[in-house]
Structure 1
Amino acid sequence: YILNAIKAKEFYTKDKDYLVMRNQITIVDEFTGRILKGRRWGDGLHQAIEAKEGVTVGSETMTMASITYQNFFLFYKKLSGMTGTALTEAKEFKKIYNLSVDCVPTNKKVNRIDKEDVVYKSLYAKWKAVLYESLSIHEQGRPLLIGTSNVKNSEIVSGLLKEYNIKHSLLNAKPENAANESEIIAQAGRKGSVTIATNMAGGGADIFFCG
């Protein structure tokens, strides 16, 4: 109980690792940015977080059996798949599944420009730079998509833009924002639009540029 209490306090953050919704703790998937309905952390950790946030503490869940994705997929006689990130993990696919990875070329020439990383000494300097860059792009009338790692950061950026009266859309795991996902994505490529999104807009989201 003591270890779980420490973990809950020091390593799990509200609006980053989980949301508090309707007197319940809801887990947020760190990779997709989406809520994991019905999922609970095991071994008493979920109860510790519930106690931390002052919501109703549920019953403890126990893992009766488990299997890794790798071993589960090996039960299939035939395996295939398609993803935009397979090439970088080609060695792992070969080692674990004995599968080769082929790269399908893009239909059109890639016009994306990859710039060097920019590192800041403080979060304040980072968010200040994000704000100034956003203001510059918005003044040019270009559509802008700001990607953040979690709900908390998306709301920080949203707050900064509100201070400058910049109209924008916010897409994160919170129900009031996730409910409008299709509409937010549909308008993200329009002239002058500003969209803030977590990883929800990072996988398989088609953003079309339009006037």
Structure 2
Amino acid sequence: MRKLCMFMVLASIVLAGCIPSLHPLYTDESIVYDANLIGVWKGDPNKSDTWIFKKEGKNNYQLTVIDEKKKSGVFETYLCKIDGQLFLDIFPDDPNLCQNDFYKAYLLPCHGFIKVNQILPQLKLQMTNPDDFGKKLKEDPNMIKWEKVEDRIVLTASTQQLQEFMRKNAQKDWLFDDEAKLSRVSGDPNKR
């Protein structure tokens, strides 16, 4: 049962184009806040996902991603800066994922990382590339701490190790997919 629950959470993150991590990428010192993220963002207005950023706490956001089928996922999100490069650290925060507390106790939510190349005038993002990253790990399995769970790569490195890894590799082709460009539809996250 535990493996099935963990697999469901990991699979949902990996299938969305992320490499899950047990630990966050950010530290208190690396968190930055940019109010320009707040609002509703879309790629192709006719068919793409909608990303809605709301201010959540002092230095973080709530990100709701609504797909083409109108299914949504809610994430606790932090913007962090490592050697001048911005990243989003997203963490599942959907209270409707499971209604049963006993069931929820067996889920293992993970962090996902998104490279942010620009916020305005367009939001330019790059998701991690699990396929190319997996090939690179076969070449150099000691480049970062990781485990394989149900045929999925899960990063187990500490936050400090993750940051060092990003310092060395954030600009490498094999770590991130092609850039996605999102346009602001509204500066008000309550208007879609």
TM-score (ref. length: structure 1): 0.25
Q: Which has the larger radius of gyration?
A: 1
Q: Name the structure where strand makes up a greater proportion of residues.
A: 2
Q: Which has the bigger relative contact order, CA under 8 A and spacing at least 6?
A: 2
TM-score (ref. length: structure 2): 0.26
